[in-house]
Amino acid sequence: GAVVSQHPSRVICKSGTSVKIECRSLDFQATTMFWYRQFPKKSLMLMATSNEGSKATYEQGVEKDKFLINHASLTLSTLTVTSAHPEDSSFYICSPSTGVEQFFGPGTRLTVL
C-alpha cells in the first residue's frame, strides 16, 4: 500500500516557461498534501501545505505566486512553477498524508536552462 506517483520524473525547460508537476496517491486518500524542495546534496525543505479544496499555506520565503499548488481531489495535487528560472532547478517531492501518516513520492527533477 501507500503508493505515490509523480509525473514527470524529470523535466527540462527554458527560462521563463511554466512547468506543472502532478502528484497522485494511488491507493489512499490524502487529506493533506505537502510539497518539498531539495537542492543537490541538501536536505528537504517544506515549501507548502494544502488541504483538499482549500488554499495552500506557504512556508516563509516561498513565493505563492510563483509556486501554484492545486489540491482539487483527495488523490491528486499539482505544483506549477511559473516563469521558471535557473535558480528554481531542484528536486521537487510531494508527500500526501492521510492525516495520520505522510508518504513520499519519487520526486521530479526540474532543470531550467
Binding segment toward other proteins, per CB under 8 A, in 13-21, 67-75, 77-85, 99-107: 99-107
80 and 20 in contact (C-beta within 8 Å)? yes
Is the peptide bond between 8 and the residue preceding it cis, with omega within 30 degrees of 0?
A: yes
27 or 43: CB nearest other proteins? 43
How many residues interact with other proteins (rule CB under 8 A)?
26
Q: Which helix (H) or strand (E) holds 67?
A: strand 67-73
How many Å is the maximal CA-CA distance in the chain?
Answer: 39
Q: Interface with other proteins includes 111 (CB under 8 A)? A: no
> What's the grid cell of residue 20?
506543472
CB of 50 to other proteins, least distance (A): 11
Q: Could you say which of 11, 13, 44, 62 contacts other proteins (CB under 8 A)?
A: 44
- Across-strand partners of 40? none
> What's the grid cell of residue 102?
505522510
Binding segment toward other proteins, per CB under 8 A, in 11-19, 37-45, 62-70, 73-81: 37-45
> What residue ranges bind other proteins (CB under 8 A)?
4, 6, 32, 34, 36, 42-46, 49, 59, 93, 95, 97-107, 109
